[in-house]
Structure 1
């Protein structure tokens, strides 16, 4: 005969077994959604990682010319130190030449720029924007170099005046060379190499003619390159949607009777 206690325990566990599944199927209420940042990033696009300051366009544009200008300023000691040694070496190796060459060669990079463009090589910018960049670069270069000249009051090697530092001729040549390099570097690096070779010859001529110290020409090159870089950084290509002037090219040719001439080609674009 079954014990009453055993009967009660059996009935209790059967009751628990029948109730437990019912409670297990009861759905739990979902956790409230956090809407505090609902509109922080609606597109779900991760934020762009900000590049460090030393990789910015301004730092890259200023770094090299700043080093050149700083070197020129540190070594600007007149007829002393490295200036004295370099002047002595140049005078032993070279004779002065006509200064008219200095005044002419400084614009040869611009002549290269125009000749390459007229030959049909597509530059980075159209004609009008390139001219605007040149005008802006010239303004920056002239203002900065002449301001420093009057502040520095450095005497020239030949003692003609106190406007030696920095070299304006060198700054002019390197400004033009930097613009040539920027406009055509995507086509060929040789355009820039040729322009910088011309600019370097200007710096050498200024020292050969005893017009400038080494510190002057190094700083002048820095001012020229810096002026070009600042002109590009501050320029907004307002006419860049349609090429202006790129459909016109000029090339040398010979006519039927052997007479040389120039041929103008117009290739209209849509």
Structure 2
């Protein structure tokens, strides 16, 4: 049993390390997008004194919030202790650790937001679609926002695409779309009806289109490669062995492709309790 436990821990560490790499690469490649989103939030939510980052991951959003709102105190919540450890290291390196505290919690199993009852701003970026009971958890979130405060939910409509016209990448995304109906039904959802069902008033909605062309950020090739490899792992059993092998070959080659781009869209909803 000890061997099995060590194998499980090793697998979990690899999983978190791989996801952490993608989150960090996403933040590096799409830094202009994140800056644009933060400016949009600032223009509509003002200058919050207390911010709650739900599903903080490795802290890309947490640090962007800290930069945009230099006087705010931020609580970063995530289910993964490994992610929160990454976040603490990054906050220390950025010189903002004194304004950021981390809380390990699974919002699917809690009836409250740990340690928060009156946040000025709740930020949830690409995290709500993981919830088992979105409306129930949104009600919990609403109770943690002070009167006059705001929730900003930012969600991707689909995973990024890197090679326009590539038929293999298109087949992979079609397989992901089919799989998410059962595995992740809220990915790409319209969150306005869910927010209203939880008692929120939706004040604004904005779609951010991402279309990066050469010259691209230096990390783009590594970002595309890591994303395609994670895509391949998630499609095990859903694609033919030939397609899986071809996808691995594509991931190996993609950093050197001259036709590499980054195309994605993300939508933000601004809501009040």
TM tier relative to shorter chain: under 0.3
The alignment's TM-score, normalised by the length of structure 2, stands at 0.24
* TM-score normalised according to structure 1 size: 0.25
* More helix per residue: 1
Higher strand proportion (structure 1 or 2)? 2
User: Which of the two has higher C-alpha Rg?
Assistant: 1
